[in-house]
């Protein structure tokens, strides 16, 4: 007589071998999905890979550097050949390298002395020369006094003796003041820009 485990295994075997009645299941036919077809057609060993080719960032930086060098060289050559454009000078991006037609000449150093009243006397004289080839209008002159650290301590405006100068002609400026600060050391002269 078979033991209990053998009987159980026999009954399990019988139930597996017995045909079971299966009810038919209705399935709906779905239209073919394009993505599913594409994934089924994908071949990892295809001659053209589905990814972008690898880019070398060092080569891209090198090409960018070469293009930048060419652009800077072309700009430098154009500036050397044609000079600074007028709009750049007007905007203050570059200085005008041309020699101005009106030039200042200090005939002698500025005079500074203490008066018996205790006030300090300051005087200077300068010449303005038209070194150009055309008649020039003489704009007002800005006189600035600066201290040892080149800080502006006092300034005023003055006019030349003549309003216009012919080529090679000159005019004079003579000024004297009593109200200047004691720490004024350096004198600078500049024409007042007509755009101010």
pLDDT by residue (tens digit) across 37-84? 555 676 666 666 566 667 788 999 999 999 999 999 999 999 888 888
Which pLDDT value is given to residue 88? Answer: 79
Contact 136, 164 (CB under 8 A): yes
Whole-number Cα distances in Å, 141 to 57, 127, 135? 58, 12, 18
Pairing state between β 170-177 and 120-130 = antiparallel
Which range, 4-8, 28-32, 37-41, has the best average confidence (pLDDT)?
A: 37-41
d(CA 116, CA 45): 107
Here the tokens at position 165 are: 């100068």
Taking residues 116-136, report their average pLDDT.
85
Mean pLDDT of the chain: 77
Q: Comparing C-alpha atoms, which of 113, 132, 127 is closest to residue 177?
A: 113
CATH number of 102-191, picked from 1.10.260, 1.10.10, 3.40.50, 2.60.40: 2.60.40
Four-CA torsion 191, 192, 194, 196, nearest 10 degrees: 150
Cα–Cα distance for residue pair 172/74, rounded to 1 Å: 46
Rounded to two decimals, the pTM is 0.48
Residue 31 predicted with pLDDT over 90: no
Q: Is the CA virtual torsion 149, 153, 157, 159 positive or negative?
A: negative
């Amino acid at each position: 007589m078979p033991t209990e485990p053998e009987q159980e295994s026999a009954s399990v075997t019988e139930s597996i071998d017995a045909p079971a009645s299966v009810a038919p299941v209705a399935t709906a036919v779905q239209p073919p999905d394009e993505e599913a077809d594409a994934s089924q057609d994908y071949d990892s060993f295809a001659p053209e890979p589905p990814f972008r080719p690898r880019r070398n960032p060092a080569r891209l930086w090198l090409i960018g550097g070469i293009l930048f060098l060419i652009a800077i060289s072309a700009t430098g050559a154009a500036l050397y050949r044609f000079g600074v454009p007028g709009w750049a000078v007007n905007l203050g991006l570059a200085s005008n390298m041309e020699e101005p037609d009106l030039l200042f000449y200090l005939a002698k150093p500025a005079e500074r002395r203490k008066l018996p009243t205790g006030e300090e006397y300051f005087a200077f004289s300068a010449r303005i020369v038209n070194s150009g080839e055309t008649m020039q209008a003489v704009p007002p002159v800005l006189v600035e006094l600066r201290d040892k650290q080149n800080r502006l301590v006092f300034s005023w405006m003055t006019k030349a003796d003549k309003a216009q100068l012919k080529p090679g002609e000159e005019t004079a400026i003579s000024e004297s003041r009593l109200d200047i600060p004691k720490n004024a050391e350096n004198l600078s002269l500049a024409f007042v820009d007509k755009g101010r």
